[in-house]
Structure 1
Amino acid sequence: MARTVYVVTHPEATHHVDGLVGGWFDSDLTADGRRDADAVAEELRARIPESVAVEVYSSDLLRAQRTADPIAARLRTATVLDPRLREKSYGEAEGRPQHWLDDRFVAPPAVGDRLTHDEGLRGAETREAFARRIYAAMDAITAGAVRHQVIVTHGFALTFVIAAWIRMPIQALGYVNFAAGSGSITTLREDDRFHNRQLAELGDVRHLGLR
């Protein structure tokens, strides 16, 4: 039996509308975000047969938990919280106005060492440290035998969830980016014969309608 992993990026959060830096800043979903989380839950219930076992994993940040809760309820399971699925930490910039970060951010070089680049923000994670904790989470999540799983995470974190799924070496992550909107569903699959892994669909938001 093939394995399918649905990766959900949390919908609109308060830091989005307030113009604040997210990262580990523990913002909540907005009213629109909560409606979108319900829409995600309904879509996943329609995609996953009721007769099969399913696991739901989530970042422990509030906006991700609020997204995972209706999903787990509709799928009749519990949410497993994993802090390794958090967004990248922006250190001292978290919770501050976005322009505060923009004024201080040191962009990575076009060539050279992008993985351990210092962005000029005290306490911020490097790209490599961020990737390694997401990879560790994915190793743990995919170690079991359950064939239907849901992972609720964040927009930037999605890139490394996908990269971990396809076994991209960490040393090759300097430039990779898989962009998807808030409240999106990305579908990952592994076939049961060759055990090839694919990115079957990136950032589907059709369940959100026109919003």
Structure 2
Amino acid sequence: MRRLYVVAHPEATHHVEHRVGGWFDSALAERGRAHAAAIAARLRELIPAADRIELYSSDLRRAAETAKPIARSFEADTVLLRDLREKSYGVAGGRPQSWLDERFVPPPPMGERLDHDEGIDGAETKLQWVTRVYRAVDRISAGTAGQQVVVTHGGSLSWVVAAWLGLPVQACAHAAFRSSAGGITVLEEDDRFHNRTLHTLNDTSHLPARR
């Protein structure tokens, strides 16, 4: 059985400051650093001690910082993939979330949703975003380890799951797999039929309750 553990990075400074994330290179917040350690500990419980892992991460700081305790726990190298980044919001990155909310043009319920112009200079379309995350999953799928860990962002996690399941890009016009900060999603591929399954979506049982 091949397993892919997909981690949505935990709380970052842009969350705390109510700023737009995207390609804005925020770091983990204090709470996020504690959750990163909890994520590494949970993965250590889930993955057999004798198994080798391959570890992939978005190259943005908050994701790379999440990958560090995982790398230490498994004595693994981290492969940084730019294609695992969150959606680029262009000039909105790092600005107050309210700035983006006032200008964002949401896609229509039907019709052209993937190549829709959201009205933000320099922002990726959903099609551009999905296409590059699919490219990252192609790279990851070429790996040879039976246990792989992918650290990405809450939005991009949807496209990791969709790509793993073999959904056509067009299906991502409406499809979404929601994950909260610090959640772990588990994907599987069986050895006989090579069917791929969404085993667990957004497990947060390893995270301490908010006080």
TM-score in terms of structure 1 length: 0.98
Give the 3-state SS of the residue equivalent to 2:173 in structure 1: coil
List alignment gaps of at least 5 residues for structure 1.
none
2-structure distance, mates of 1:95, 1:143? 34
Q: Which moved more, 1:79-88 or 1:45-54?
A: 45-54
1:13 corresponding residue in structure 2: 12
Give the RMSD, CA atoms, in angstroms. 0.6
1:25 corresponding residue in structure 2: 24
Q: Displacement of 1:205 after TM fit? A: 0.3
1-structure distance, mates of 2:143, 2:106? 38
Q: Displacement of 1:57 after TM fit? A: 0.3
2:193 corresponding residue in structure 1: 194
List alignment gaps of at least 5 residues for structure 2.
none
Structure 1 residues 50-199: aligned runs within 5 Å: 50-199=49-198
1-structure distance, mates of 2:172, 2:59? 24
Q: Which runs of 4+ in 1 moved over 3 A?
A: none
Q: Residues 37-85 of structure 1: CA distance to partner in whole angstroms, max 9, x if unpaired?
A: 0000000011111211101100000000010000111011111100100
Amino acid of the residue matched to residue 130 of structure 1?
Answer: W
Question: Percent identity at matched positions?
Answer: 55
1-structure distance, mates of 2:55, 2:143? 13
2:34 corresponding residue in structure 1: 35
2-structure distance, mates of 1:44, 1:197? 20
1-structure distance, mates of 2:143, 2:16? 38
Aligned length: 210
